[in-house]
Chains A and B, each alone.
Chain A
Amino acid sequence: MGLLIEDKSIAVPGEVLAEGMDYLPADGAIREGENVVSSRVGLVHVDGRAIRVIQLAGSYMPKRNDTVIAKVVDVLMSGWRLDINCAYSAMLPLRDATSDYIEKGANLTKFFDLGDYMVCKITNVTSQKLVDVSMKGPGLWKIKRGRIINVTPCKVPRIIGKQGSMVTMIKDATGCKVTVGQNGVIWVQCDDPEKERIAVDTIKKIEAEAHISGLTDRIKEHLDKVSKK
């Protein structure tokens, strides 16, 4: 009876995490009869009576109010189709793209052309995963320079850190501008290419070690070491 697996260990689908009714299944776990069973590969997190399995892999699932970095894949009659690094593409309608007056039949590539990147916000997601995005709002803009890197979307919270602590640390140490999209697409820009490289390497390091405890200290040490060189 009770907990059968250690807190902070790795669970696999179908693994029995706890026996009896003392524990409750939360995200990533299910109850099967008397048992709490894991439903994915992930990190076990026991919070009081609740057992959660934190996702370590998987694709991005669009959510309303997420800020994402998107790429234009098609220019339509009344807007743009964007790739948001998931199975579903997003739609940017004209009225949410710009406050400029656009004449009927105008060439929309003047605003966003194929292959352009932008930081935008998801305004709506339907049950069939039709996604609408908007460019209107603070902190949403068209990306003109810098570089784009991709990380596993479920590592994004670790890259941002508590109240943005991790990403601020990278920004302070390297002097780079960094924007992290919830979809795992990250924009990094710096005038010094060497510093840009350090920032990218650091983000990749966080991605690889996100599930090992003591991450913040390790990253701090790493940044101190590389920026001294």
Chain B
Amino acid sequence: MSYEKRPDGRNFDELRPIEAKVGVIKNAVGSASFKIGKTWALAAVYGPRELHPKFLQDPAKGRLRCNYNMMPFSGTGDRIRPGGNRRAKEISMVTEKSLMPVLDLKNYPNTVVDVFIELPQTDAGSRCAGICAASMALADAGFVMKDLVSAVAVGRVDDKIVVDLDYQEEAYEDGPVADIPIAMLPRTKEVTLLQMDGEISKEQMAEALELAKKSVDEIYEFQKKALKEKYTGEQNE
């Protein structure tokens, strides 16, 4: 049996509709909102500020600290219990590692830059949406960055290579599924995050990576547009 049609009727290489905006949280130094389909991530940047406890300080450069959090009613099933859990801790860490290669914090020794990523609603692909929002928020805060970071999940559902899986596809039961969240620098296509859940062949993996490269470019255009619109007045209140 083969996988013929996606549940929401998209093409296999088609992303869900994207909405991106920066400057959504006025109290933060920089902030962004990134929606892809039903998944919605908000990111707020605070700092650079003094880092406590002091032993965590790095005298050579500033530290990036990310915090990923799903809001209580953001999931499709049960209420998400508030507070940290093992999954959130892992995603916070991989988000940090996917953003660190572009961010230059050597001008801010002994400080920390906090990025809070909140997800009011999720439908798979939340870490990718979080990374997209966080990189826009950091740029909005005026930090020196080599590039933005764009992220998307690719994978296979049965015999098809697909991009931007939603929850129904991730939970597909009639065949093997692989879910591969990837973060890339859009210009150089350097990979800063690559995780995988499921099983996939070498050839399919190569095909999935090519699809990711193409999709990342599409996402980057939305990120770029949102950052520019803040100043060109189209979204000013």
- Mark A residues whose CB is within 8 Å of B: 10, 12-16, 30, 37, 39-41, 43, 55-59, 61, 86-89, 127-129, 154, 211-212
Contact = CB atoms under 8 A, between A and B. Distances in A.
Contacts of B59: 128
27 contacts: A10-B228, A12-B223, A12-B228, A13-B145, A14-B102, A14-B145, A14-B148, A15-B224, A16-B187, A30-B146, A37-B147, A37-B187, A39-B145, A40-B143, A41-B142, A58-B142, A59-B48, A59-B142, A87-B48, A87-B49, A87-B108, A87-B111, A127-B109, A128-B109, A129-B108, A211-B231, A212-B233
Interface of B: 29-30, 47-50, 59, 102, 104, 107-111, 139-148, 185-187, 223-224, 227-228, 231-233
B139 A40 contact: yes
Nearest to A86: B48
Contacts of B144: 13, 39-40
A12 B141 CA distance: 12
Contact of B102 (A13, A15, A61, A86): A13
Contact of B50 (A30, A56, A87, A128): A87
A27 B205 CA distance: 41
Contacts, number: 82
Contacts of A58: 141-143
Most B C-beta atoms less than 10 A away, residue of A12, A37, A39: A12
B142 A55 contact: yes
Contacts of B146: 13-14, 30, 37, 39
A41 B142 CA distance: 6
Given A12-B224, A87-B108, A57 B141 contact: yes
A153 to B, nearest CB: 10
A52 to B, nearest CB: 14
Most B C-beta atoms less than 10 A away, residue of A13, A57, A129: A13
A61 B142 contact: no
B50 A13 contact: no
Most A C-beta atoms less than 10 A away, residue of B30, B50, B59, B146: B146
Nearest to B108: A87
B231 A56 contact: yes
B143 A87 contact: no
Nearest to B141: A57
B231 A40 contact: no
Most B C-beta atoms less than 10 A away, residue of A30, A41, A88, A128: A41
